[in-house]
Amino acid sequence: MAAGPGATTDTGPAAGAGEEEGEYVKPFTPEKAKEIVMSLHQPAIFCNMVFDWPARHWTAKHLSEVLHGKQIRFRMGMKSTDTVPQFETTCGYVEATIEEFLAWNCDHSGISGPFRDYDHSEFWAYADYKYFVRLFEDKTDIFQDVIWSDFGFPGRNGRESTLWIGSLGAHTPCHLDSYGCNLVFQVQGRKRWHLFPPEDTRFLYPTRIPYEESSVFSKVSVVNPDLKRFPQFQKARRHVVTLSPGQVLFVPRHWWHYVECIDPVTVSINSWIELEEDHQARVEEAITRMLVCALKSAEDPHNTRAWLNPTEVGHFWFSSWQLVSCDKSTLARTFVFQFMTSKVVETQELKTNGEDMKKNELNVHHLMEVEQTGSQNLPLETVKQEAAGPFGPDLLPVLPSSEKPPSERGGIFENDDKDCVGKGGEHFGKLHCTKRQRRMSKSENATVGQIASNHATAHCQTFISTDDVLDCVVNPQVTKIVAQLLIQGRSL
């Protein structure tokens, strides 16, 4: 776990007030902060960077006054912990004002109004993904209360931000964001973040059902994992940190995260920072969208609730047989980026011992490895060595946690991975051990192994669902290969 969160802000500028604020100097200039954000490979907490932001006063009570009478959507979930993730497709939804939310959250007795069907002792409420441009469409001056330019992004403010208001227990299921990196400002209450590095993706059992653009979900309930069904999850390196008011969490590109509210009322503001690598990610997302739409809408075009995330309802279109979201400029920029980062030199003379027969395979292998050789996905030891410099009292690293969730403690599941995976995994390997597969790169083996383990415990099923097919076809590493092949073909 990271160094004690909140220690710095309790006595530093974040706790300063009024006339004394002018005496404080921020620990990082905008230029230095941006350098850290763009080069750091592990999550970290910035302290003492937002003590002069007007948004630091944005408690839920304050926001209820600013948005007086405005209804927003709250997601309602169960407080009980299950071994199955509580995806948004399984939640209830309530349209209510923040005043009504606070009344329900504070007065635990029976109340009337929009929350009347939800017992506070059994449910939590979460107003998540509330974009400022929609929430404050008639109060645009409030955008200036959020000053992301302090982190080296001139002109970025509330217009490019999202608001989150939650009660105790509210959470987002474990997922990674396809685009950009993330800056999260904690305003009120505390949140606990469970993070996993991108190179552990195969241990998180990724899925695109429910479908949401730019979000890859995990099948694992990371706070109460079913290790019999998902044995490889034991290998995932969990990083846990508690984010306190006045702190800003940096989440690097493609880091998995599960976020839970651990105080009665929490308020957060975040902004996703665009990166050059997003050009290729948009191609991958277009491929995913096309395939998910084609399979699921053909299965039942009139029932999207089971597989389409509520955030996509009203925005999802079914004529996605073409990659219409990827214009030529996107493909061109992505190809240039790939070319500049590529380590494969096509003109290199290939030597004997059969290497000439492997030329095409090497290129395909490289397509899969581009992400892993990128600056955001270096091995943990390398990250520790390279990122040691900027850390200090005002920049706290989020380190691997030795604490395990309840279901992983005390040897409840004592079988090792081989026993848990069972003979199905071994049999899969023997059946398909061809010469070509023996030449697979480590990344390809990881992909096949992850897909195989996804279905190893389902050997007794008598059918293959479209979800099973999609788990293989739109696996993040598979779409990466397809996208890069497509980009190369369209750009040559």
Backbone angles phi, psi at 273, to 5 degrees: -95, 125
pLDDT in tens, 420-429: 333 333 333 3
Decide: 277 and 193 in contact? Cβ < 8 Å. Answer: no
Least confident of 29-43, 134-148, 360-374: 360-374
DSSP secondary structure, 385-414, as one string: HHTTTT-BTTEEE-PBP----GGGGGGSS-
Question: Residue 17 above 90 pLDDT?
Answer: no
Q: What tokens does 207 get? A: 């899925």
- pTM to 2 decimals? 0.73
Query: How much is the average pLDDT of 193-198?
Result: 98
pLDDT in tens, 19-31: 444 578 999 999 9
- Angstrom distances, CA of residue 91 to CA of 148, 214, 314: 32, 20, 18
pLDDT at position 389, please? 62
pLDDT in tens, 56-65: 999 999 999 9
Q: How many CB atoms lie within 10 A of CB 113?
A: 13
Decide: 130 and 163 in contact? Cβ < 8 Å. Answer: yes
Tell me what percent of the residues of the chain surpass a pLDDT of 70: 64
Element containing residue 186 per DSSP (H, E):
strand 181-188
